[in-house]
Structure 1
């Protein structure tokens, strides 16, 4: 990966995060009308704030992405390839189980329906992204992609999960999943040698 390719990934991910945040914010506004608009200016100001917020989420997502790449590199260096695949799968399942069940049963104040919906949404998104990744690359990409889209995404969400407000969770989940999916699906295009990508 050279600087030009990284720069392209950085800016396109910013746009994906901003689009995701605007879409989530306007959808919540249409459903609940949480922010009262007194004029058209208020609407555009709200959309602009969402756009900037999406950029912040995308930067956060990119930090998580590069942290995952380092973790994956270290994992392959420490463990045999197959063992590291099983470890990633186990960690992904544990993260989903914790998100869906443990927070509700241990915390008590959380809604099981809310956590179940969130967990299933992340699971469905992870399976879909892993499917497209495998289709574009090979079968060995399934588990790393699934782990990144579940385990790493849930770790990136820990801060907002502690707040326990569904709207706040949705505000970060939509752009975060969009950015993570975009980056993992673009990765093989970026690291592919120039001769192969042009052929």
Structure 2
């Protein structure tokens, strides 16, 4: 991936994160029946939502590039099938952890929200993986599920500690949108870069022969 393609990914992901935060924040405001004191407060609220979405997008991109490094290292350490098994195990453990761990250690506290969160992440992961496989190959199934579930859950640990459902929804929805977008567009950016590299080498070879 060259620098120009990375900038494209960066700015488009920023816009998606901002749009996701704006949409989520406005929907939550309508559902909760909240009102602002005048136009100035409403515009300030929109600005806060926009800035929060940008920050969530940056956080998502950090997690995405960390995943790319982890995936590269995993392929170097484990055989292909072994690395797939490791990803599947980590994905299942992460999903069970976010859905049931606090349910067991939280005493009498209500934890239905954790199960709903896990189902939401799982549903987003399945949809993203289905589209990714359609666009590429069946081999993309496990990595996509791993990233969309395990990595997303790791990225939400901070907000889960706050233990406020509204904050969790506000963070997770834009985060899932950014993660899904980056995973779905990755092969296009890599393919373009690879094709450009091959074309450049072919042209150099023709010039050397001439």
1:161 is matched with which residue? 160
Q: Compute the TM-score of the two structures, normalised by the length of structure 1.
A: 0.95
Asked if the contact 2:2–2:193 (Cα under 8 Å) also holds between the matched residues in 1, the reply is no
Task: Tell me how large the CA RMSD over aligned residues is.
Answer: 1.4
Residues paired across the two proteins, number: 196
Asked if the contact 1:110–1:164 (Cα under 8 Å) also holds between the matched residues in 2, the reply is no
2:66 is matched with which residue? 67
Alpha-carbon distance between aligned partners in 2 of 1:56 and 1:124, rounded to the nearest angstrom: 24
1:91 is matched with which residue? 90
1:176 is matched with which residue? 175
Residue 13 in structure 1 maps to residue 34 in structure 2: no
Unaligned ranges ≥5, structure 1: none
Over 3 Å counting, the alpha-carbon distance change for 1:110 and 1:155 in structure 2 is: farther
Q: Following superposition, which runs of at least 4 residues in structure 1 exceed 3 angstroms of deviation? A: 193-197
Asked if the contact 2:20–2:177 (Cα under 8 Å) also holds between the matched residues in 1, the reply is yes
Alpha-carbon distance between aligned partners in 1 of 2:152 and 2:185, rounded to the nearest angstrom: 17
- 1:193 aligns to what SS in structure 2? helix
Residue 26 in structure 1 maps to residue 26 in structure 2: yes
Alpha-carbon distance between aligned partners in 1 of 2:143 and 2:122, rounded to the nearest angstrom: 14
User: Radius of gyration: which is bigger?
Assistant: 2
Residue 132 in structure 1 maps to residue 139 in structure 2: no
